[in-house]
Chain A
Amino acid sequence: MTDVDITQELPIPVERPPRRTHGVVDWLRANLFGGVFNTILTLIALYFLAIAMPPLVRWAFVDAVWSAPNGQACRGAGACWAFIGEKLRFILFGTFPYEQQWRPLAVVVIFVAMILASCDRRLWGRRLMLLWLAGFIAAGVLMWGGILGMRYVETRLWSGLPLTLIVAVVGLPFAFPVAILLALGRRSRLPAVRVVSVAYIELVRGVPLVTILFMASVMLPLFLPTGVTIDKLLRAGIAFVLFAAAYLAEIVRGGLQAIPRGQIEAADALGLGYWQRTRRIVLPQALAMVIPPLVNNSISGFKSTSLVLIIGLFDLLNTANTALTDPNWQGFATEVYVFVAAIYWTFCFFMSRYSQMLEREFNKGRRR
């Protein structure tokens, strides 16, 4: 046979990729001392750490006072954590009746549990919706009381961490659907829907949250007939929802615009209606694309809830401020703000981790 059989299998040597380096020394060399520039940066960073860390550790731990009867006894070189211990319940639960404070505590636990449950991919769907609904109802019952032998507590007394969580955790899920509708409305083919959406978004985005809160708390009652009052917390909550929705809407719109025309045509060609197409094809892809800015906005929204203090609601930051006014404990602002910052940070950091998980989950299709 003279023809060369080109399908004949040649023994191709199997070559493995070069082995990655392991071990502490290799890691250091690769990450901290790889090259002159990196080495210089590492040394500068180490120098600043060496200057900053020892006094910080000394203040926060070594010289810190962990228990003291009053402010005088607590004054020293270090942090006065005794003050936080003394005021902990007030900072966390504020003016909620003291002996009833297990109720807001339970609400915080419920919210944290629901947030953690939302991380579990297996629960996603109708079950998670029901869980959240049940959680909201339970939180409402616990906060208001008035049934099951619990004393009725008006919203005026709700304060501290539960208040912050209620405004944020209840507000954001309500803002989100409004935002999606606004974003869809802005891209609608119906001129009336489009005009209303654009006008709303531009109006709300052009006004600071503080102004909207003021309007909700001061101006709105002027327009209501005498005798009719809307709960202050509800007004603040609605103002927060409407404000957050306008911002989230623009983020969602960015995602909607990134959907290739062909996706919509393919959905149309299969006979899907507008809402089916939006729900099954457009939104899942659009939202997955904008997770980072959505979470960014949610984090910023979570912290913006502290602005409700200007209309006299006692959120976490406001209870902390109030705790500072105790004449027996003067001059511990740093400790309190560090403590409150740590609480805010914990929630925000969690949100950011959660967004990374969501991105991984939703971008499966794009992964090779």
Chain B
Amino acid sequence: MSERVADIPIIELRQVDKWFGDFHVLKGIDLEVKKGERVVVCGPSGSGKSTIIRCINRLEEHQRGQIVVAGIELTSDVKNIEAIRREVGMVFQQFNLFPHLTVLQNLTLAPIWVRKLPRKEAEDTARLYLERVKIPEQADKYPGQLSGGQQQRVAIARSLCMKPEIMLFDEPTSALDPEMIKEVLDVMIELARDGMTMVCVTHEMGFARTVADTMVFMDRGEIVERGPPAEFFANPKSDRTKLFLSQILAH
């Protein structure tokens, strides 16, 4: 791990358990993410990897254990939940842009209503981030008028406008056509270079190799293996990891 990563834990999960009905989806998860660290979570579908990051901003509720984000413990206290959500940005597989608002309005909504920024300031910030995700000219269009790759970049910019400390990515390229995946990954790589703390659930192993500080492999609700990418890809220790990597890297 490089010195870019400070030795301050910013996300801590301790013995987190979660069930969907009777299905035990997370089993005693321990995970620590340090400030500036980039964690890529991978694993077969249904392994609980999306559920983990959805627990970090309380889109899902954990039923046992402890989650502390940016020094605030996640409890049922709405104040705490909203405080954490202000500091944690999230990018979804399905983009989830607000279709009734223009791109610019999508970007300024939360800064204006949650951060209480003046409109002018929020718009300036929004245009700055649109510039960074390389679509400044789309500011006045509606999401429905953009391609999937453009929509996902708008979604990333929308999260960044809240100036979050942490970004969560839930399979951000899985719903995209192949030719659009790269434009989204490029934006994410650039974000990683700027030192953002990131937790990504993704199958893009090339991206993982490039940016990850830590790889986490999950299967059946457990963290099976974790380690720096070089080691993770070269000498996976567990058989389940080997099998998964052989399947995903086969082609």
Contact = CB atoms under 8 A, between A and B. Distances in A.
A280 B144 CA distance: 18
A276 B88 CA distance: 18
A265 B96 contact: yes
A259 to B, nearest CB: 10
Interface string B58-92: 11000000000000000000100010011011101
A134 B144 CA distance: 39
B211 interface: no
A27 B161 CA distance: 53
Nearest to B114: A271
B93 to A, nearest CB: 9
Contact of B162 (A262, A270, A284, A367): A270
Interface residues of A, number: 24
B85 A270 contact: yes
A273 interface: yes
Nearest to B102: A365
Contacts, number: 72
B144 A365 contact: yes
A285 interface: yes
A270 to B, nearest CB: 4
A310 interface: no
A366 B97 CA distance: 12
B82 A284 contact: no
B113 A265 contact: no
B142 interface: yes
Contacts of A268: 57-59, 85
A367 B100 CA distance: 10
A280 B113 CA distance: 9
A368 B159 CA distance: 25
A130 interface: no
A266 B156 CA distance: 12
B82 to A, nearest CB: 5
B168 to A, nearest CB: 8
A174 interface: no
Contacts of B88: 269
A272 B85 CA distance: 9
Interface in A232-273: 260, 262-263, 265-273
B210 interface: no
Given A266-B92, A284-B100, A272 B59 contact: no
A364 interface: yes
Given A272-B110, A276-B114, A280-B113, A365 B59 contact: no
Contacts of A367: 142, 144
A365 B100 contact: yes
A362 B85 contact: no
B174 interface: no
A285 B100 contact: yes
Interface in A277-293: 280-281, 284-285, 288
Nearest to A288: B100
B158 A270 contact: yes
B145 A271 contact: no
A271 B97 contact: no
B101 A365 contact: yes
Given A271-B110, A271-B162, A265 B92 contact: yes
Interface in B82-128: 82, 85-86, 88-90, 92, 94, 96-101, 109-110, 113-114
B144 A266 contact: no
B143 interface: yes
Interface string B142-178: 1111000000000000110010000000000000000
Contacts of A266: 90, 92, 96-98
B109 A280 contact: yes
A271 B100 contact: no
B144 A269 contact: no
A150 B38 CA distance: 76
Nearest to A366: B144
B114 A265 contact: no
Contacts of B113: 272, 276, 280
Contacts of B92: 262, 265-266, 269
Given A365-B100, A365-B144, A269 B114 contact: no
A272 B109 CA distance: 9
Contacts of B101: 365
Nearest to B60: A265
Interface string B217-233: 00000000000000000
In the A-B complex, the 3 residue pairs with the smallest Cβ-Cβ separation, listed nearest first, are: A266-B96, A270-B110, A269-B90
14 contacts: A260-B96, A263-B98, A269-B85, A269-B92, A270-B110, A270-B159, A271-B85, A273-B78, A273-B82, A276-B114, A364-B100, A365-B100, A365-B101, A366-B142
Interface of A: 260, 262-263, 265-273, 276, 280-281, 284-285, 288, 362, 364-368
Given A270-B110, A276-B114, 20 more contacts: A262-B94, A262-B96, A265-B96, A266-B97, A269-B59, A269-B89, A269-B92, A270-B114, A271-B82, A271-B110, A272-B110, A280-B113, A281-B98, A284-B100, A364-B100, A365-B100, A365-B101, A365-B144, A366-B144, A367-B144
